[in-house]
């Protein structure tokens, strides 16, 4: 059997006395959209940040395409093909939109000119082409979310980690976002997304993993997960049972 695309094995992360993740194990299959859900404080962001390389776990290991990446820095993971967005957008505000994306595309380009051409293609894919020369600081909030995704895509990732990329959008903006995520997956990128809004995530993801109190509570298809007794008790609440 070949190694899983991404494997998180018995990972524990503590912040002082707080155990944010406790012996979490999960695998991500190539080509799928995986939703990482759970109530506030469940440890979603901690797990997400460990996969992205912001900080290492205290225990356990993380494997990407069979390689142990547990101790790798964020730039090394980016070179391997892991990209992320941030929950609170972190655009490079002194730079133009296209320059923001060039920073990402440089990692796969031989020259700045090539990076600029690649960035232009990504802007067209993400619907930001007509804002290419605007200062990033002048973008609207939904445009900034798109820029986060565009920048990450420019690194040509195999695995894209989206941290609440669809949160805080209006319903129509969220629908556009969902379309974009589907498009990205169709282009062969595996996606792990942390989300709060169940209505947005559930139709989009192939599989959902529910975290609660730093542990995996349930996993399976969206339909299975929303019917899971433990999930309803801990997260969804009784009103969901009726639905």
* Identity of the residue, 132 or 198, whose beta carbon is nearer to other proteins in the bound complex: 132
Integer CA distances (angstroms), 176 to 17, 83, 143, in order: 41, 21, 11
Helix%, strand%, coil% for the chain, nearest 5: 40, 25, 35
- 42 — alpha (psi -120 to 50), left (phi > 0) or beta? alpha
Confirm or reject binding of residue 152 to other proteins (CB under 8 A). Answer: yes
Confirm or reject binding of residue 112 to other proteins (CB under 8 A). Answer: yes
Confirm or reject binding of residue 213 to other proteins (CB under 8 A). Answer: no
CA 45, CA 54: separation in Å to the nearest integer? 11
Contact 189, 157 (CB under 8 A): yes
Least CB distance to other proteins at residue 90 (A): 4
- The most distant pair of C-alpha atoms in the chain lies apart, rounded to whole Å, by 58
Confirm or reject binding of residue 158 to other proteins (CB under 8 A). Answer: no
Integer CA distances (angstroms), 193 to 66, 87, 109, in order: 21, 11, 27
Stretch touching other proteins by CB under 8 A, among 39-47, 49-57, 201-209, 215-223? 49-57
Confirm or reject binding of residue 3 to other proteins (CB under 8 A). Answer: no
Q: How far does Cα 120 stand from its chain's mean position?
A: 22
Fill in the per-residue mask, 52 to 81: x = in contact with other proteins (CB under 8 A), - = not in contact: xxx------------------xxx--xx--
* Identity of the residue, 44 or 212, whose beta carbon is nearer to other proteins in the bound complex: 44
Confirm or reject binding of residue 84 to other proteins (CB under 8 A). Answer: yes
Fill in the per-residue mask, 172 to 211: x = in contact with other proteins (CB under 8 A), - = not in contact: ----------------------------------------
- Phi and psi, residue 25, nearest 5°: -130, 135
Catalog residues that contact other proteins under the rule CB under 8 A.
52-54, 73-75, 78-79, 83-84, 86, 90-95, 99, 102-104, 106-107, 112-113, 115-117, 120, 132-133, 151-152, 154-155
């Amino acid at each position: 059997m070949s190694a899983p695309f991404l494997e998180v094995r018995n990972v524990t992360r503590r912040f002082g006395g707080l155990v944010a993740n406790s012996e979490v194990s999960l695998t991500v299959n190539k080509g799928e959209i995986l939703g990482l859900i759970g109530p506030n404080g469940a440890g979603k962001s901690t797990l997400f940040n460990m996969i992205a390389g912001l900080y290492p776990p205290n225990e356990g290991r993380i494997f990407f395409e069979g390689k142990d990446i547990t101790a790798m820095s964020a730039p090394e993971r980016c070179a391997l093909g892991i990209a992320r967005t941030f929950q609170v957008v972190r655009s490079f505000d002194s730079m133009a939109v296209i320059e923001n994306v060039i920073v990402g595309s440089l990692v796969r380009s031989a020259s700045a000119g090539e990076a600029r051409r690649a960035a232009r293609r990504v802007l067209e894919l993400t619907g930001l082409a007509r804002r290419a020369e605007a200062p990033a600081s002048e973008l609207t909030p939904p445009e900034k979310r798109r820029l986060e995704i565009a920048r990450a895509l420019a690194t040509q990732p195999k695995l894209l980690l989206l941290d609440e990329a669809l949160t805080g959008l209006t319903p129509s903006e969220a629908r556009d976002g969902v379309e974009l995520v589907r498009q990205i997956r169709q282009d062969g990128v595996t996606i792990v997304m942390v989300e709060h809004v169940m209505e947005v995530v559930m139709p989009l993801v192939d599989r959902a993993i529910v975290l609660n109190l730093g542990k995996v509570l349930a996993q399976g298809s969206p339909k299975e997960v929303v019917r899971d007794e433990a999930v309803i008790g801990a997260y969804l609440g009784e009103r969901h049972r009726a639905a």
